[in-house]
């Protein structure tokens, strides 16, 4: 019994420390461990783009996607948002078509149009070979993709060269390719001397210089119908990143700050009231074990909230739903154990013996129940969309924690106080419903 | 033993629930939200009081957006559902409704049609995969008890039951949507998934008791009819089933009345599902094993 009392004391102290951690980090405005709230709770904008990979060879898709992510990240940082998040997602093979997506989270931003403009104005740059075919009197020009795109660009610079009109320096854009791009550019130019090489910006041809000779060294110049301002903007945009592949806005959502704040305060209030009601019910029905389970549940919650803070898990409405269900599971594990203990008491066992046997009898059901839920949660996380994943992550964490808390915390607490014999008050305390033990 | 003796009555009640649910789904259908169909949804509040819906409709009808549905939500807010809008179109709508009254946009969601159908696919796959894994896990966990029902029989029974546990709340939601104008959103799918988890646990507790009794009877060489074993197991786990359901139901009721509006429908579906699920695990899951056992005895 002394052993259990020591364990119980340690568990209680740990519980207080965790509760203090949760409370103090939330009260301290500078703490690094605030709850991370999803956009649906904190307010903000989420944009989902589809990357058009139709021109990209399959084995280069993930490279192109991470290049795209890098470029968009630079653009987002320029936009000036606190803690933006840019993620990529490759649609699962289950749906048949592989799709590459870019998910941009902008907390605190509610002006979708401005956000889309800031992200989407990045140019796509492509080099294409022009072939002109003449049939009768009509001429048709077809453009053949060379594979050389903005992906291979390392930098761009503004230059003023001698223009066609004598005396006036025309603005030019100088492109520097990276080493792969330089090789590709040299190859293209050496194989197609005398052909026009069209430079496409955002799908529009802006100039069609004729290749005079093979160009080594990885530099190209675009001379077009630029004004100086246009050329400067182009250089800036190219430097901040020409998009390696075109993107298309597929999804957008924004939540205003008022709705999010209301959702949080209502959620917290409902959580506290719900916990008190559940605790009162447990104490009313199960008496002493009920008090123990309320304590174990409080510890369970303090632990879960600390884990959510430390990992950190981004809390969304669906994540909170997952938390509530896992609390339900934790309650259930306690109920299972107490019901079993009660049966043993009824058969005339001593309270301590009954608690011991009650736990071991309840174990297989708790194990199977929790394991199926953990497996289901993992599958949901694996297959689900982000909303389902938000639920599944918290759910799996919660069920794992419940697994541990039910078989350790409640047991230690109970064994720390339950006596050898049920006499007098103990008979009432160990009873349940309308019956004494 | 009451439940076992009158099990056909409970099968009939179940059938009635199921028929009602399927009927509601067929009759009213499930109004799919933009998470599934694609489209745009705006939630706008009028801090100084909401104008008549007809007036708002007039302001929007001038825009080339096709069919637009406008509903009131809460006291001073409305929600506007359209086809998938571009950011520019979204701005014109906002400007149009703000021309005569000051507005605050609470939330805006726009889902491309392709993404919508993919979400449906993924949700169905996830539910299906979870059920499949449950069959295998239960078949494994009950591998030592193979008489009079083979261990995978338990798995199949659980899944048959889970299917009902999901169809009935879905039917309820179809009726609820029909009368309140609510829509099936992704949180509804989350609610169904959470229900799956809850109900599996619920049945496992009862089956675990049956497993325990069967093992003990075998060890002690006791002869007991399968029906008696099941009846005993149900009675012994009944208090637990009801108490657990009651605590979760209490928490959900609080969530319905005090929680955020965004989680209200979620909590409601969960509440219905848990009440039905508890009834179903007590009155149906284990009794369902009896006809299966008889069928195997004949073979």
pLDDT recorded at residue B27:
93
- Architecture of the domain delimited by A2-38+256-429: Up-down Bundle (1.20)
Task: Give yes or no for residue A336 having a pLDDT over 80.
Answer: yes
A282 contacts in chain B (CB < 8 Å): 247
Q: Over the stretch B219-271, which tens digit does the pLDDT of each residue have? A: 888 888 888 888 888 888 888 888 888 888 888 888 888 877 777 888 899 99
Report whether B19 contacts B253 (CB < 8 A).
no
Coil, helix or strand for A347? coil
State whether B139 and B46 are in the same domain: no
Q: Over the stretch A123-142, which tens digit does the pLDDT of each residue have? A: 677 788 877 776 767 777 77
What is the rounded CA–CA span in Å between residue B261 and residue B273? 19
What is the rounded CA–CA span in Å between residue B245 and residue B236? 16
DSSP A193-254: TTSBEEEEETTEEEE-PBP-S---SSEEEEE-S--HHHHHHHHHHHHHH-BSS-EEEEEEEE
User: A149 burial class (0-12, 13-18, 19+ CB within 10 angstroms)?
Assistant: buried
Report CB contact under 8 Å: B115, A251.
Answer: yes
State whether B254 and B220 are in the same domain: yes
User: A193 burial class (0-12, 13-18, 19+ CB within 10 angstroms)?
Assistant: exposed
Report whether A306 contacts A21 (CB < 8 A).
yes
- Kindly give the pairing relationship between strand A204-207 and strand A197-201: antiparallel
From the list B294, B295, B292, B283, the residue with the least C-alpha distance to B9 is B283
State whether B16 and B121 are in the same domain: yes
CATH of A125-244, one of 3.30.1360.200, 3.30.70.20, 3.40.50.300, 3.40.50.800: 3.30.1360.200
Once rounded to an integer, what is the mean pLDDT over residues A217-225?
74
As a whole number of Å, the CA-based R_g of chain A is: 33
B159 contacts in chain A (CB < 8 Å): none
User: Which of B83, B111, B139 is the last residue in one of the domains?
Assistant: B111
Task: Give yes or no for residue B4 having a pLDDT over 80.
Answer: no
Once rounded to an integer, what is the mean pLDDT over residues B191-211?
85
Q: What is the CATH number of the domain that holds B95?
A: 3.30.70.3400
Closest Cα in chain B, distance from residue A413 (Å): 21
Mean pLDDT value across chain B: 84
Tokens of A46: 């989420």
A391 contacts in chain B (CB < 8 Å): 190, 193-194
Report CB contact under 8 Å: A281, B250.
Answer: yes
pLDDT recorded at residue A229:
76
Task: Give yes or no for residue A177 having a pLDDT over 50.
Answer: yes
**B83 or B87, which is more confident?**
B83
pLDDT recorded at residue B295:
83
Tokens of A375: 């497996």
User: B296 burial class (0-12, 13-18, 19+ CB within 10 angstroms)?
Assistant: middle
- Conformational region of residue A287, where left means phi above 0, alpha means psi within -120 to 50, and beta covers everything else: left
Task: Give yes or no for residue B1 having a pLDDT over 70.
Answer: no
What is the rounded CA–CA span in Å between residue A177 and residue A218? 5
Count of the separate structural domains present in chain B: 2
Report CB contact under 8 Å: B104, A258.
Answer: yes
What is the rounded CA–CA span in Å between residue B287 and residue B279? 12
Once rounded to an integer, what is the mean pLDDT over residues A269-293?
86
B262-284 burial, b at 16+ Cβ within 10 Å, e below that, comes to bbbbbbbbbbbbbbbbbbbbbbb
Q: Which of A282, A321, A361 sits opposite B263 (nearest CB)?
A: A321
Q: Which run of H or E residues covers position B13?
A: helix B7-28
Task: Give yes or no for residue A218 having a pLDDT over 90.
Answer: no
Report the residue count for chain A.
437
pLDDT recorded at residue A225:
67
A vs B: CB pairs below 8 A:
230
pLDDT recorded at residue A228:
77
Mean pLDDT value across chain A: 79
Question: What stretches of chain B adopt beta strand conformation (E)?
Answer: 39-45, 69-73, 77-82, 104-111
State whether B152 and B280 are in the same domain: yes
**B56 or A263, which is more confident?**
B56
Give the phi and the psi of residue A224 in degrees, each rounded to 5.
-145, -160
Q: Is the ipTM of this complex over 0.85?
A: no
Which of the four pLDDT bands, split at 50, 70 and 90, describes residue A30?
confident
Cis upstream peptide for B148 (omega within 30°): yes
A392 contacts in chain B (CB < 8 Å): 193
Task: Give yes or no for residue A143 having a pLDDT over 90.
Answer: no
Tokens of A129: 């070979």
State whether B23 and B51 are in the same domain: no
Listed in sequence order, the residues at least 6 apart from A346 whose beta carbon sits closer than 8 Å to its beta carbon are: A437
Q: What is the CATH number of the domain that holds B272?
A: 1.20.1640.10
Once rounded to an integer, what is the mean pLDDT over residues A305-316?
86
Q: Which of B90, B112, B200 sits opposite A373 (nearest CB)?
A: B200
What is the rounded CA–CA span in Å between residue B164 and residue B18? 7
Tokens of B139: 């078949």
State whether B142 and B52 are in the same domain: no
Report whether B297 contacts B27 (CB < 8 A).
no
B133 contacts in chain A (CB < 8 Å): 372, 375-376, 379
Of A16-30, B165-179, B278-292, the least confident: B278-292
From the list B7, B299, B292, the residue with the least C-alpha distance to B150 is B292
Of A210-224, B58-72, B167-181, the least confident: A210-224
Tabulate helix, strand, coil % of chain A (nearest 5): 55, 20, 20
State whether B28 and B45 are in the same domain: no
Task: Give yes or no for residue A306 having a pLDDT over 80.
Answer: yes
Coil, helix or strand for A30? coil
A114 CB neighbour count, 10 Å cutoff? 14
State whether B55 and B29 are in the same domain: no
Q: Which of B114, B187, B252 sits opposite A317 (nearest CB)?
A: B187
Distance of CA A364 to the CA centre of its chain: 35
A300 contacts in chain B (CB < 8 Å): none
- Conformational region of residue A145, where left means phi above 0, alpha means psi within -120 to 50, and beta covers everything else: beta
Q: Which run of H or E residues covers position A257?
A: helix A257-310
Angle at B238 between CA B237 and CA B240, to 5 degrees: 70
B112 contacts in chain A (CB < 8 Å): 48, 50, 249-251
Question: What stretches of B83-184 adopt beta strand conformation (E)?
Answer: 104-111
B222 CB neighbour count, 10 Å cutoff? 10
User: Which of B111, B136, B157 is the last residue in one of the domains?
Assistant: B111
Tokens of A68: 């795209």
What is the rounded CA–CA span in Å between residue A332 and residue A352? 21
What is the rounded CA–CA span in Å between residue A342 and residue A335? 10
Beta bridge partners of A101: A50, A89
Report CB contact under 8 Å: B190, A329.
Answer: no
Task: Give yes or no for residue A292 having a pLDDT over 80.
Answer: yes
Cis upstream peptide for A174 (omega within 30°): no
pLDDT recorded at residue A78:
65
Give the phi and the psi of residue A434 in degrees, each rounded to 5.
-100, 5
Q: Is the dihedral of CA A263, B251, B155, A368 positive or negative?
A: positive
Nearest residue in B to A369, CA atom: B201
Q: Over the stretch A347-404, which tens digit does the pLDDT of each residue have? A: 888 888 888 898 888 888 888 888 888 888 888 787 777 777 888 888 899 988 888 8
A43-120 has which fold?
Answer: Alpha-Beta Plaits (3.30.70)
DSSP B32: B
Report CB contact under 8 Å: B190, A377.
Answer: no
pLDDT recorded at residue A93:
46
A278 contacts in chain B (CB < 8 Å): 247, 250-251
State whether B107 and B119 are in the same domain: no
State whether B129 and B57 are in the same domain: no
State whether B19 and B49 are in the same domain: no
Entry pTM: 0.75
Q: Over the stretch B10-47, which tens digit does the pLDDT of each residue have? A: 888 888 999 999 999 999 988 888 888 888 888 888 88
State whether B165 and B272 are in the same domain: yes
Q: Over the stretch B132-165, which tens digit does the pLDDT of each residue have? A: 888 888 888 888 776 778 888 888 888 888 888 8
DSSP A95: G
Q: Which of B108, B251, B261 sits opposite A324 (nearest CB)?
A: B251
Report whether A38 contacts A106 (CB < 8 A).
no
Report the residue count for chain B.
299
**Helices and strands: H and E segment counts in chain B:** 11, 4
pLDDT recorded at residue A433:
65
User: Which of B62, B77, B111 is the last residue in one of the domains?
Assistant: B111
Q: Where are the domains of chain A?
A: 2-38+256-429, 43-120, 125-244
Report CB contact under 8 Å: B247, A282.
Answer: yes
Report CB contact under 8 Å: B251, A391.
Answer: no
Coil, helix or strand for A256? coil
Nearest residue in B to A332, CA atom: B244
Containing structural domain, residue B53: 39-111
């Amino acid at each position: 019994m002394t052993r259990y009392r020591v364990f119980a004391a340690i568990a209680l102290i740990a519980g207080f420390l965790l509760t203090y951690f949760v409370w103090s980090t939330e009260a301290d405005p500078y703490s690094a461990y605030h709850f991370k709230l999803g956009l649906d709770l904190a307010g903000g904008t989420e944009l989902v783009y589809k990357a058009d990979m139709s021109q990209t060879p399959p084995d280069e898709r993930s490279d192109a996607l991470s290049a795209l992510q890098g470029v968009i990240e630079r653009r987002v940082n320029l936009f000036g948002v606190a803690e933006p998040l840019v993620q990529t997602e490759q649609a699962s093979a289950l749906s048949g078509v592989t799709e590459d997506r870019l998910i941009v989270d902008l907390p605190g931003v509610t002006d979708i149009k401005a956000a889309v403009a800031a992200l989407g104005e990045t140019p796509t740059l492509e080099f294409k070979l022009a072939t002109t075919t003449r049939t009768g009197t009509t001429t048709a020009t077809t453009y053949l993709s060379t594979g050389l795109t903005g992906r291979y660009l390392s930098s761009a610079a503004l230059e003023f060269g001698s223009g066609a009109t004598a005396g006036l320096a025309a603005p030019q854009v100088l492109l520097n390719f990276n080493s792969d791009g330089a090789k590709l550019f040299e190859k293209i130019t050496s194989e197609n001397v005398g052909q026009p090489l069209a430079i496409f910006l955002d799908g529009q041809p802006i100039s069609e210089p004729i290749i005079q000779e093979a160009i080594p060294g990885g530099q190209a110049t675009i001379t077009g119908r630029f004004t100086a301002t246009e050329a400067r903007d182009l250089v800036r945009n190219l430097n901040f990143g020409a998009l390696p592949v075109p993107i298309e806005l597929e999804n957008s959502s924004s939540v205003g700050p008022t709705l999010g704040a209301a959702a949080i305060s209502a959620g917290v209030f409902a959580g506290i009231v719900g916990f008190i009601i559940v605790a009162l019910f447990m104490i009313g029905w199960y008496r002493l074990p009920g008090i123990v389970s309320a304590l174990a549940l409080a510890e369970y919650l303090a632990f879960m909230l600390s884990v959510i803070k430390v990992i950190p898990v981004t809390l969304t409405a669906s994540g909170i739903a997952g938390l509530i269900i896992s609390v339900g599971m934790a309650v259930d594990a306690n109920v299972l154990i107490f019901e079993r203990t009660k049966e043993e008491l009824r058969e005339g066992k001593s309270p301590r013996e009954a608690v011991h046997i009650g736990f071991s009898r309840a174990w297989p059901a708790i194990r199977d129940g929790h394991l199926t839920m953990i497996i289901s949660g993992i599958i949901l996380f694996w297959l689900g969309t982000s909303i389902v994943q938000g639920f599944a992550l918290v759910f799996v964490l919660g069920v794992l924690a419940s697994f541990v808390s039910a078989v350790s915390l409640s047991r230690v607490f109970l064994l720390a106080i339950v006596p050898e014999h049920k006499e007098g008050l103990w008979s009432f305390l160990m009873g349940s419903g309308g019956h004494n033990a | 033993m009451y439940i076992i003796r009158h099990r056909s009555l409970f099968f009939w009640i179940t059938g009635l629930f199921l028929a009602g649910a399927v009927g509601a789904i067929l009759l009213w259908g499930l109004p799919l939200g933009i998470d599934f169909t694609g489209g745009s949804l705006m939630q706008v509040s009028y801090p100084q009081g909401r104008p008549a819906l007809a007036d708002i409709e007039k302001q929007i009808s001038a825009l080339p957006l096709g069919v637009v549905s406008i509903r009131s939500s809460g006291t001073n807010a409305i929600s506007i559902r359209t086809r998938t809008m571009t950011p520019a179109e979204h701005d014109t709508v906002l400007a149009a409704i703000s021309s005569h009254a000051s507005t605050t946009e609470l939330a805006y969601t726009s889902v491309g049609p392709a993404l919508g159908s993919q979400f449906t696919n993924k949700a169905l796959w996830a539910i299906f995969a979870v059920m499949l894994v449950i069959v295998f896990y239960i078949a494994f966990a009950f591998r030592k008890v193979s008489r009079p029902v083979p261990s995978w029989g338990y798995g199949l029974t659980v899944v048959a039951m889970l299917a009902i546990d999901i169809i009935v709340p879905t039917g309820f939601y179809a009726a609820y949507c029909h009368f309140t104008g609510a829509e099936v959103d992704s949180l509804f799918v989350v609610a169904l998934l959470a229900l799956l988890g809850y109900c599996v646990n619920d049945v496992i507790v009862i089956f675990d008791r049956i497993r325990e009794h069967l093992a003990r009877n075998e060890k002690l060489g006791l002869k007991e009819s399968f029906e008696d074993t099941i009846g005993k197991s149900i009675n012994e786990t009944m208090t637990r089933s009801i108490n657990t359901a009651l605590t979760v139901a209490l928490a959900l009721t609080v969530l319905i009345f005090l929680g955020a509006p965004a989680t209200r429908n979620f909590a409601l579906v969960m509440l219905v599902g848990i009440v039905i699920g508890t009834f179903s695990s007590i009155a149906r899951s284990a009794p369902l094993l009896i006809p299966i056992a008889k069928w195997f005895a004949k073979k």
